[in-house]
Amino acid sequence: RIVYLNGDFLPFDEARVPIMDRGFLFADGIYEVSAILDGRLVDNEAHLARLDRSLGEIDIANPHTLGEWVALQTELVARNGVAEGLVYMQVTRGVFERDFAYPPAGTRPTVMMFTQEKTVAANPLAAKGARVITVPDLRWKRRDIKSVALLAQVLAKQQAAAAGVAEAWMVEDDAVTEGSSSTAFIVTAGGTLVTRPLSTALLPGITRQAVLRLAAEAGLALEERLFSVAEALAAQEAFYTSASAFVMPVVELDGKTIGTGAPGPHTRRLRELYLELARAGT
C-alpha cells in the first residue's frame, strides 16, 4: 500500500509525521474525502473546492492548485490499483514547537493522502436500509469547516456501533443537524424532500448538493428547512448522503420503523440517479 506525504509516494509503513505536528497536537487541520468508482474520482472538483474553502477559513494557504491535487490523487489511485473506494486527503498547519497561536509564516503545511478499498456502489446495506439512532449534537459552532477535530463524531459513531446501527443523527434544539458523517434527509408523508439549509451549523455536503440537483431535475418537491426527530419518525422515507455512503436509505430511527420499513421509492430512485451520475465520471 502506497500513501502520499509531503511530496513523496511512500510505502504505508514508512510514512511518519513528527509529534509536534499541529494536526496531532491541536487537530489544527482539515480533511476531505472523495469516492472512487470504476477507478475514477466522483464529483472530485467539488470536493477539492470544499477543501480549498476549509483551508481558507482557517488561514492555511492551499499548498496545491486544483490541477496538482488531481494529479496527485490520480497517481495515488493508480499506484494502489483502487477500482472502488475512497481517497482521503488531509492538510494540517504543519510542524512547530507547541504553541496555540499560528507558527511563523513559511511553516510548511503537512499534506497527506491515502486510499481505501471499499464497496461503495454495491453496498448490501443500501438494499435493506440502515438503522440509525439520534444523539445530542456536541460539536463546536463552525461545522461548515471539514476539521479533523472529530471527537464528537467519534463518540456519536461509537454509540451507533454499540447500538448495532449504521449511523447516528445529531440533534440540537429539537432539530436534526446531520449525521455523524453524512447529511440527513426525509421525504414527508406529502412527498416533499426535506433537508436542513446550509449554515455554519452543518457541513455543506457535496453529495447533498448533487442529490438536491438530481431531485429538482426529477421534479421532486424540495424544502430546505429544519426538521425534528418527531417529523423524521412520521416521514414516508428517510436517507442520508455522503461520499462513501452515496444515498443510503434509513428504515429505522431510534428503534422505530420509518415508512414501510424498507427503502422507499424516492430514495431508491435518487440512489440510482446518483450512481448513474457517479459512473458518468462527473
Interface residues with ligand PLP (CB under 6 A)? 33, 178, 181-183, 203, 205-208, 241-243
Write down the least CB distance from residue 258 to ligand PLP, Å. Answer: 20
- Identity of the residue, 115 or 242, whose beta carbon is nearer to ligand PLP in the bound complex: 242
Alpha carbons 114 and 137: distance in angstroms, whole number: 29
At 16, phi and psi to the nearest 5? -130, 145
Smallest separation, CB 205 to ligand PLP (Å): 3
Beta carbon of residue 93, minimum distance to ligand PLP (angstroms, whole number): 20
Q: Which residues are catalytic?
A: 146
Least Å distance, CB 114 to ligand PLP, is 15
Residues 6+ apart with CB under 8 A from 60: 29, 30, 91, 93, 109
Residue closer to ligand PLP (CB basis): 115 or 183: 183
- Residues 190, 8: Cα–Cα separation, whole Å: 54
Nearer to ligand PLP, 95 or 193 (CB): 193
The answer to whether 223 and 197 are in contact (CB under 8 A) is no
Write the CA distances from 192 to 222, 238, 262, integer angstroms: 6, 11, 18
Alpha helices (H) along 194-264: 206-217, 229-233
CB of 47 to ligand PLP, least distance (A): 7
As a dihedral over the C-alpha atoms of residue 248, residue 250, residue 251, residue 254, rounded to 10 degrees, the angle is: 150
Tell me which DSSP letter residue 109 carries. Answer: P
> Which CB, 172 or 234, lies closer to ligand PLP?
172
Contacts (Cβ under 8 Å, ≥6 apart) of 264: 187, 236, 237, 249
- Nearest Cα to Cα of residue 276 among 221, 219, 213: 213
Q: Pick the closer one to ligand PLP by CB: 187 or 248.
A: 248
Looking at the chain, the number of H-run helices and the number of E-run strands are: 8, 15
Query: Which stretch of DSSP H or E encloses residue 274?
Result: helix 265-279
